[in-house]
Each structure stands twice: as structure tokens, then as C-alpha cells.
């Protein structure tokens, strides 16, 4: 092997790290190679075949996502053959799923349609009557699998297995029947599934989709993404609230793309799905105080005075350690700091705890 | 309590003994093995014999059996109330139309054979000599000597790829990793092919000896024989031969032998899919490189060799590589050709590599009717017209003719054959047997089959875009199945354009 550690892609000499793939080397140099079944957090499947490129010396085109760059390898991504294959793959997937973009993107965006717009297709082929089965009997509240949109790229099963280590879903059956299934087609809630929704997030076609957002009926492209911090625990995961501005409503929560925030594209069941409290009629939106057993709205000043008087009274009657302070895991670090400050400085007690501390 | 470490390789055995995919079995096997339940379901639904344990009598609907009236057989069984289902291929093309009841007696086979000949490396009718003298020669002369002989013989892989055997042997032997495996590919599944079945039934000691030689030369500690599940008695034949050889003290004691059943998936004849199956997974071919000689079973260097190739080894070492090379006409060695379809005496005929179909047909008693077309190497080789029967039946000549020798499962079609129907039968086969991993094959095989059905139904434009689909399947599929799956249709369109309307030629 030569000392020169570069791969030639479309005439550009690019350096690469040992073990790096053609795709990784190309992306660093901003040479675009389309992918459907690739996610850099997962073992490449090489299944969608849209990233095939020509490699000098190889009779067949090679998957850029899975082919390691080697010294002096000559790769071509802009040939007629490569382009013809991209169009072929896109026509295939469109024939196998839903050709009409409006229908396909009723909830989530479709990467297949996006790529078809960029790269074109080999024409609209007669739709395939696919025997892929869904799981209509699944009673979980959050995730729906729509087999008519599935391209069997296995991103969801690999994510479930490799990132979450949950292995609740699998590629099942064979050939044309290949689909995404749980063991014995059970509901997700009867499996090891933790309802993290990562399968929805990695799905390039909206085959895995959010039930609640689907019911709301507005596609993601018509929603505005508002970046926020999940406050269910102290990790600080970044979330994108998908807001329907007309209705002033959070329709769903998605994770920012992998590699951009601390949570690297991941969320848990709470962060992704436990958001119905936002618009819940029982949600408290102003301070309430109780008079003669009845709650009534009050100002913050009045409410805080009531709390202070009550706490000071307990301290006076029963001593400092009759009080205990427990804060929520949904508080920020600063808020928790203030809580213990309140306990120790104002009431001279060490009875302070936080529900996420065990 | 679950086992601490998942025992994935046990999944098949456990599923099989539990009775396949039936309520409760996935959970049961999950508790026994510690493998995630979803993974077990994924495996159980992949393999026909596990997925449909109650399918009743399986009726083969491969091309040869179709020609011989498989549809009628299915209808008859239905009429008499016997539960029956169609099955991609049973590997009994000599008994067409073949059927198999997994619960019943093991099917017997009675193909015709070529008469014994001194220049045959395998010679199916020879009295089994089982001398193990070649293995003793390796003990005396060493592995390098054996490898030189294998190289001199020019032996190429008889499973269909035609890859030079010595390159694989040397590649495994040259690995730094010392944990190495020998895998016998006895998952013979190419429609039209039933030679490996007969080799194991009639000459099992050649296979055992060949494997023992490979293990010794490559310093492998374990030998795995992966035997097609539809071939019940075949595995038993191999195991009996091993017991005999062991009892006579012919074999090295430090080699461990394992026999594994296939469970009904054509794709597992593809070597990396076979490795996945051995590891207890869905039989989806791996991407290559790396090749199994480097990263194979359990990620270790592995030699995977077809039954016929392995069975040639003893003769090569006893009689010399040069002898084997000279035994072929256009390429090295004698070769087993399976003849079925419209021939008078379907069977396994050993002949010099490069014999023509015309000569083979003479041995097989001629064509039933007038020959119209033939598949030289199973479904994957597509069709050639009758006027090519003087082509040498070897790897190179057939490749140049746009076809392939493959596993040399020759299916002969007479002039009563409707080529649209024949192409459709092959399309159905590939659609059923695609593993579903890569999109060109998974979707392409559906498009091809559905377009052919529409064309047959009178839609003259149904095949309009099929050439582009065929191009992509050939160019972009991960493995040979998808790359070859459109060939039956495109070759039929090429050689019999009148049957596909002039527009499509």
C-alpha cells in the first residue's frame, strides 16, 4: 500500500482517516451523495442502493455508505451510470410506496420525494401492489406504522437495536413481504418498546409516524419549528416544538438533527410525546389560593405571601426541621440551587431533596 | 431468567423443536436463548419451513415441475382434500412434478446417471471406495503440496460462481487469525439443480474426505455442513459417513464437525446469507468486501465451498491436479450436469467441462418433443434458444453468451412452452425468494412479475419500462439473486421477441 492517504473523488484528492467510508470522505469535501438508509450513528445497511458510486477497477457500482476509502482509490459520483441508478432507485421506491407527494407527506416529510425533486426519476412506473403488512391492531397511543410508506430501509430497527438497545422491532418476513414488525405483531406497549419515538425520527418517509400529529391533520412542512429545552429532566435535551401558528398550538415535538445538539437526535418518551399538558384544560395558568376550601385566582404577590406566612408559622410552632423542601426534576439547576438556598438560609433546615436524586 | 449472553446460534434448533412459528414459541425461544423476541420473530418469518409449519404437502412450482404439471397436482390434492401449498422449489426436478410432505416419509429420488468412467472426479455410480488415501497423502506430503495440486487442477467453484478454489484456500490459510472455519454449502437450491443431493447420497465419503482435507490444509478447527432443509435424508447420509470414517479412525480427532439444517430459503445458498443463517439470523447477504476468507463465520476466516467442489478434492490429490485439468474439454475438470424439463431421462450426468447440450441430450435419451429453448444453469441463467445447443457448457462460453453455467442445472423446454409463462414462472420464483434486503431486488422482482402478469392479461404496454428496471436490478442489487433475477425475462424477450410483441424488441 502506498504512503499517500488520499482518495480521489470526482477528481479531488481527499485525505481520509483509516476506516472512513467514501461517503464520509465525500461529505467532508461537500460532495453530495444522496442516501436513504444511512445514519452515521448506525451500522450501514447498504440496502437502499441510492448512494452507489463508480469505483475504478470494480465492475459493479459500490455503496458509498459502506465502502471504505482506500489509498488512491478513484471514485466517480457524477457519471451517467451513477445518475441513472439514482433515478432508477427513486422510481422504484415511488412505485412501491406513494407517488403523490401531497398524500405521502400528510404528516412527515418524505426524503424519497425530496430526492426525486433534486435528482429526477426514471419516469413514473406502474405502482406496485405491495403485500407489506402494517400493525393496525397496535393500541399504543403514540406511534403508528404505515406499511404503504415503508421502504424497508431498516433505519428504525437498527436505531432501536443499536442506539436504544431495545430491539422491540425487527425486519420481518421475506422479499416483497418484508416489513417492520414486533414479536408476534404485538402492540408496542406489550413489547420491550419504551416509546422513545426514535423510529419516527429516523424514518425517511413517514411510515413511522406520530399518531397525535396525524390526527391533528397538518403536515410538518406547514408547522413552525421552535427550538426549546426539554424540562422533564436535567439532561437538557433540545427539542423542536412544531407549532401550528394559526391555531397557536404545539402539534408535536421533534428532535433537532443528530450531531447538532447534546441529545444527538434522541429523545425519550416524555420529551417526544408527553406534551398534551401544554394545551390541557386542567393546566394551571395562574396562581390559585384557597379560601374556605375553595380555590380562587390570585396575584403572585398574594400567593407568595400566603406561602411565606404558612411556612414561617410551621417553623415557629414546630421548629426548623418540621419543614422539608422537595423540588422537581423539571426545575433547572439554578432553580434547584435556589430551592436549597431557601431551605438552608431562610429556614435553617437541611431537609431538602430533589426528586431526580436517588 | 434470561441467559447472560444471548445464544443466537441456537435460535433455529429451538424454533424447530418448538414446531416453528406458532403462538407462544417466539417468547419461549426468547426465554431459552436470551435473543430479543423481535429478532426471533424476524428469523422465524424469514424461513419458509419455520414460517409455515402447517403448510401440509408442499408442491414444487419451479419451472421444471410447472412444465410437468405442478398446477394440476395442486388442484388434484385440493380436490381430494389434502392440505397442500405451492413451494418455490424442492430440488427434485428429476421427479417433476415433485411434492413433499415434511411429516411423511422422506422422498426417494431416482434420477438417471451417466455410466461410470475413469476420467470422472466424482463418478456417482462408482462403488464407494472410501479409502481416505488422499487425506493420508496430505498427512505425508503437507498442506502446501495439496494447495499446489488444487491450484494445478484449475478447480473452480461448482456452486455457480466459478471462482478458483485455490485462491480461497490460500487466502484462508494466509490469515493471521487462527480461529478458522470450513463451511460446506449443501444448501443446493437453484431450480433445475439436484447434483449435490446425489453426491451426498451416493458419494458421501468424498465429501467428508474433502472437508477433512480442507480443514487440515487451512488449519481449521471446525467444519460446518449447512444442508438444505428440504433434503431430509441427505444430512443423515453425510452424518452416517462421518460416523463410519470416524469408527475406522480415518479422521483427525481435533476437528469438530457440525451439521446444520437449512429452513427453506433459497437465498441461503449465497455464501454470506448462509453465514448469517449459521449465526442464527435472517439470511440476508452481507456486503462484500470483506470476503468470508477474511471475515466469515463469527467474523473469522472461513472457507465456504460447494459440495461438488469439495467432492472433487480427493480425486485431484490422488490423481494429480494436472489429471483433473485434462479431464475437462474447454475448462478444467469433469462436471456434474443436471438435466430436467422436457428430456427423456432426467438425471445427473458427469461429463468433461465444456460438453455441449447436444451431447448431453444424447446421453439423456433426447428431448421430449422438439427443443425450443433451455436454461443452462438454473433460473438465474435465463434462457437460450435451441440454436445454441452446440455451445460449450462452461463458465466462460456461457458468460459470453449472456447467460451462465451457474450450478449447471439445465432445464430443457420444448416447442409447446409458452415463453411468457416460462419467464413468469421464474419471476414468481425470484420474487418469492428475494430476501427483501435491497430495494432493486425486493421491488424489482415485484415489478417484473406484475408487469408480466399484466402483459399476459392483454396489456400490450405492460413491459414498456421493464428494460430500465432490469438494468437497475442487474447493476444495483447487493447479491447475485437480484442481479440475475431479471435475466429470464430479458433473455426471453431477446430470443423470442414474437412472443412479447414486436414493440419490445
CATH assignment of the domain containing A30:
3.10.20.740
Q: Which residue, of A78, A102, A131, is where some domain finishes? A: A78
ipTM for the predicted complex comes to 0.94
**Interchain proximity B436–A152, CB inside 8 Å:** yes
DSSP assignment string, A152-186 = ---HHHHIIIIIS----EEEES-GGG-EEEEGGG-
**Interchain proximity A88–B42, CB inside 8 Å:** no
In angstroms, what separates the C-alpha of A60 from chain B's closest C-alpha?
6
User: Where does the pLDDT of residue B107 fall: very low under 50, low under 70, confident under 90, or very high at 90 and above?
Assistant: low
| Average pLDDT for chain B | 94
Task: Give the per-residue pLDDT at A240.
Answer: 98
Task: Give the per-residue pLDDT at A3.
Answer: 55
User: What does the pLDDT look like over B146-169, one tens digit per residue?
Assistant: 999 999 999 999 999 999 999 999
In a domain? residue A112 = no
CB atoms within 10 A of CB A287: 17
Task: Give the per-residue pLDDT at B450.
Answer: 97
Looking at residues B321-332, what average pLDDT do you find?
A: 97
Q: How far is CA A14 from CA A2, A4, A38, A39, B343, in A?
A: 15, 10, 21, 22, 59
CATH assignment of the domain containing A269? 2.20.25.90
Domain residue spans of chain B:
8-45, 60-100, 113-326, 331-414, 419-504
In a domain? residue A311 = yes
User: What does the pLDDT look like over A217-255, one tens digit per residue?
Assistant: 999 999 999 999 998 887 889 999 999 999 999 999 999
Would you tell me which residues 418-457 of chain B have a C-beta closer than 8 angstroms to some C-beta of chain A?
Answer: 431-440, 442-447, 450-451, 454
Decide if pLDDT at B2 tops 80: no
Task: Give the per-residue pLDDT at B231.
Answer: 86
Q: Are B330 and B392 in contact (CB under 8 A)?
A: yes
Are residues A57 and A10 both part of a single domain?
Answer: yes
User: Where does the pLDDT of residue B129 fall: very low under 50, low under 70, confident under 90, or very high at 90 and above?
Assistant: low
High-pLDDT (> 70) share of chain B, %:
98
Q: Enumerate the residues of chain A whose CB falls inside 8 A of the CB of residue B466.
A: none
Task: Give the per-residue pLDDT at A1.
Answer: 45
In a domain? residue A60 = yes
Q: Does A130 touch chain B (CB under 8 A)?
A: yes
User: What does the pLDDT look like over A9-24, one tens digit per residue?
Assistant: 999 999 999 999 999 9
Q: Which residue, of A232, A264, A281, is where some domain finishes? A: A281
In a domain? residue A152 = no
Q: How many domains does chain A have?
A: 3
What are the phi and psi torsion angles at A226 (to 5°)? -120, 115
Q: Does B192 touch chain A (CB under 8 A)?
A: no
| Stretches in chain A below the pLDDT threshold 50 | 1-2
Q: Enumerate the residues of chain A whose CB falls inside 8 A of the CB of residue B288.
A: none
Q: Does A128 touch chain B (CB under 8 A)?
A: yes
In a domain? residue A306 = yes
Q: Lowest mean pLDDT of A248-262, B106-120, B198-212, B278-292, name the range.
A: B106-120
CB atoms within 10 A of CB B129: 12
Q: Which residues does B451 contact at the CB level (< 8 Å), separation at least 6? A: A126, B462, B463, B466, B469
Task: Give the per-residue pLDDT at B502.
Answer: 63
CATH 2.60.40.3140 fits B331-414, yes or no: no
Task: Give the per-residue pLDDT at A358.
Answer: 54
Decide if pLDDT at B232 tops 80: no
Fold of the domain spanning B113-326? Rossmann fold (3.40.50)
Q: Does A340 touch chain B (CB under 8 A)?
A: no
Q: CATH classification of B419-504, choosing from 3.40.50.720, 2.40.50.140, 1.20.1440.230, 1.10.10.10?
A: 1.20.1440.230
In angstroms, what separates the C-alpha of B454 from chain A's closest C-alpha?
11
d(CA B97, CA B429): 16
Task: Give the per-residue pLDDT at B477.
Answer: 97
Q: Which domain holds residue A256?
A: 223-281
In a domain? residue A264 = yes
d(CA A289, CA A300): 10
Give the gyration radius of chain B's Cα atoms: 22
Are residues A322 and A267 both part of a single domain?
Answer: no
In a domain? residue A249 = yes
Q: DSSP label at B331? A: S
In a domain? residue A37 = yes
Best B288, B427, B443, B466 member to test A by mutation, with max A CBs in 10 Å, is B443
Torsion of CA B137, B141, B147, B148, to 10 degrees: -110
User: Where does the pLDDT of residue B504 fall: very low under 50, low under 70, confident under 90, or very high at 90 and above?
Assistant: very low
Among residues A63, A10, A9, the alpha carbon closest in space to that of A35 is found at A63
Decide if pLDDT at B503 tops 70: no
Amino acid at each position: 500500500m502506498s504512503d499517500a492517504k488520499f482518495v480521489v473523488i470526482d477528481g479531488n484528492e481527499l485525505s481520509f482517516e483509516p476506516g472512513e467510508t467514501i461517503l464520509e470522505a465525500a461529505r467532508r469535501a461537500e460532495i453530495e451523495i444522496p442516501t436513504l438508509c444511512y445514519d452515521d450513528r448506525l451500522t450501514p445497511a447498504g440496502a437502499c442502493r441510492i448512494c452507489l458510486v463508480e469505483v475504478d477497477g470494480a465492475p459493479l457500482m459500490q455503496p458509498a455508505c459502506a465502502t471504505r476509502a482506500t489509498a488512491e482509490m478513484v471514485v466517480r459520483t457524477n457519471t451517467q451510470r451513477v445518475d441513472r441508478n439514482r433515478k432508477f432507485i427513486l422510481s422504484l421506491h415511488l412505485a412501491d410506496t406513494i407517488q403523490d407527494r401531497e398524500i405521502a407527506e400528510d404528516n412527515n416529510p418524505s426524503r424519497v420525494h425530496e430526492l426525486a425533486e433534486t435528482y429526477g426519476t426514471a419516469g413514473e412506473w406502474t405502482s406496485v401492489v405491495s403485500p407489506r403488512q402494517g400493525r393496525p391492531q397496535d393500541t399504543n397511543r403514540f406511534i403508528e406504522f404505515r406499511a404503504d410508506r415503508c421502504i424497508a430501509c431498516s433505519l428504525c430497527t437498527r436505531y432501536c437495536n443499536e442506539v436504544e438497545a431495545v430491539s422491540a422491532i425487527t425486519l420481518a418476513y421475506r422479499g416483497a413481504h418484508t416489513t417492520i414488525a414486533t414479536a408476534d405483531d404485538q402492540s408496542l406497549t406489550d413489547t420491550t418498546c419504551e416509546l422513545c419515538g426514535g423510529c419516527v425520527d429516523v424514518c425517511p418517509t413517514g411510515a413511522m409516524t406520530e399518531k397525535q400529529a396525524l390526527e391533528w391533520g397538518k403536515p410538518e412542512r406547514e408547522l413552525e419549528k421552535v427550538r426549546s429545552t426539554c424540562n422533564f429532566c436535567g439532561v437538557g435535551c433540545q427539542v423542536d416544538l412544531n407549532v401550528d401558528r394559526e391555531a397557536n398550538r404545539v402539534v408535536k415535538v421533534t428532535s433537532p438533527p443528530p450531531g447538532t445538539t447534546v441529545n444527538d437526535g434522541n429523545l425519550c418518551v416524555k420529551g417526544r410525546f408527553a406534551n398534551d399538558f401544554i394545551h390541557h384544560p386542567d393546566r394551571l395558568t395562574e396562581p390559585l389560593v384557597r379560601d374556605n376550601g375553595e380555590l380562587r385566582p390570585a396575584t403572585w404577590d398574594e400567593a407568595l405571601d400566603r406561602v411565606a406566612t404558612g411556612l414561617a408559622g410551621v417553623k415557629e410552632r414546630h421548629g426548623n426541621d418540621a419543614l422539608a423542601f422537595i423540588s422537581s426534576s423539571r426545575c433547572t439547576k439554578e432553580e434547584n440551587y435556589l430551592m436549597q438556598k431557601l431551605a438552608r438560609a431562610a429556614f435553617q433546615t437541611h431537609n431538602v431533596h430533589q426528586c431526580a436524586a436517588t | 431468567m434470561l441467559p447472560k449472553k444471548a445464544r443466537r446460534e441456537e435460535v433455529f434448533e429451538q424454533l424447530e423443536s418448538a414446531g416453528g412459528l406458532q403462538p407462544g414459541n417466539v417468547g419461549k425461544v426468547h426465554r431459552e436463548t436470551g435473543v430479543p423476541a423481535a429478532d426471533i420473530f424476524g428469523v422465524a418469518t424469514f424461513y419458509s419451513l419455520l414460517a409455515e409449519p402447517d403448510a401440509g404437502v408442499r408442491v414444487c412450482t419451479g419451472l421444471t415441475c410447472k412444465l410437468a404439471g405442478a398446477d394440476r397436482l395442486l388442484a388434484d390434492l385440493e380436490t381430494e382434500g389434502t392440505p397442500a401449498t405451492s413451494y418455490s422449489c424442492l430440488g427434485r426436478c428429476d421427479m417433476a412434478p415433485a411434492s413433499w410432505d415434511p411429516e411423511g416419509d422422506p422422498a426417494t429420488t431416482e434420477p438417471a446417471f451417466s455410466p461410470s468412467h475413469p476420467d470422472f472426479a466424482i463418478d456417482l455410480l462408482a462403488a464407494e471406495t472410501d479409502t481416505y488415501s488422499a487425506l493420508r497423502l496430505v498427512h505425508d506430503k503437507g498442506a502446501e503440496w495439496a494447495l499446489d495440486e488444487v491450484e494445478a487442477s484449475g478447480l473452480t467453484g461448482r456452486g455457480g460462481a466459478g471462482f478458483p478454489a485455490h485462491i480461497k484456500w490460500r487466502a484462508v490459510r494466509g490469515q493471521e487469525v487462527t480461529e478458522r472455519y470450513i463451511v460446506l454449502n449443501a444448501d443446493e437450491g437453484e431450480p433445475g439443480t439436484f447434483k449435490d443431493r446425489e453426491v451426498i447420497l451416493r458419494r458421501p465419503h468424498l465429501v467428508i474426505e474433502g472437508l477433512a482435507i480442507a480443514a487440515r490444509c487451512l488449519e481449521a478447527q471446525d467444519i460446518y455442513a449447512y444442508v438444505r432443509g428440504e433434503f431430509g435424508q441427505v444430512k443423515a447420509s453425510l452424518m452416517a459417513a462421518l460416523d463410519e470414517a470416524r469408527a475406522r479412525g480415518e479422521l483427525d480427532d481435533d476437528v469438530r464437525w457440525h451439521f446444520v439444517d437449512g429452513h427453506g430459503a433459497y437465498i441461503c445458498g449465497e455464501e454470506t446469507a448462509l453465514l448469517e443463517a449459521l449465526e442464527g439470523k435472517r439470511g440476508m447477504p452481507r456486503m462484500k468486501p470483506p470476503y468470508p476468507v477474511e471475515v466469515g463465520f463469527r467474523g473469522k476466516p472461513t472457507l465456504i465451498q460447494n459440495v461438488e467442489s469439495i467432492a472433487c478434492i480427493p480425486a485431484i490429490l490422488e490423481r494429480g491436479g494436472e489429471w483433473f485439468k485434462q479431464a475437462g474439454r474447454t475448462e478444467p475438470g469433469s462436471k456434474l450436469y443436471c438435466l430436467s424439463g422436457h428430456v427423456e431421462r432426467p438425471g445427473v450426468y458427469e461429463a468433461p467441462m465444456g460438453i455441449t447440450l447436444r451431447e448431453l441430450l444424447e446421453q439423456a435419451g433426447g428431448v421430449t418433443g422438439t427443443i425450443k429453448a433451455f436454461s443452462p444453469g438454473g433460473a438465474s441463467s435465463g434462457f437460450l434458444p435451441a440454436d445454441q445447443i452446440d455451445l460449450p457448457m462452461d463458465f466462460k462460453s456461457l458468460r459470453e453468451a449472456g447467460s451462465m453455467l451457474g450450478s449447471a442445472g439445465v432445464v430443457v423446454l420444448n416447442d409447446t412452452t409458452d415463453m411468457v409463462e416460462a419467464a413468469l414462472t421464474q419471476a414468481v420464483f425470484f420474487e418469492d425468494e428475494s430476501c427483501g434486503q435491497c430495494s432493486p431486488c425486493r421491488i424489482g422482482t415485484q415489478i417484473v412479475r406484475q408487469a408480466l402478469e399484466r402483459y399476459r392479461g392483454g396489456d400490450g404496454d405492460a413491459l414498456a419500462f421493464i428494460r430500465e428496471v432490469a438494468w437497475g436490478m442487474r447493476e444495483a442489487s447487493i447479491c447475485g439473486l437480484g442481479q440475475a433475477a431479471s435475466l429470464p425475462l430479458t433473455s426471453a424477450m431477446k430470443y423470442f421477441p414474437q412472443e412479447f410483441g414486436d414493440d419490445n424488441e
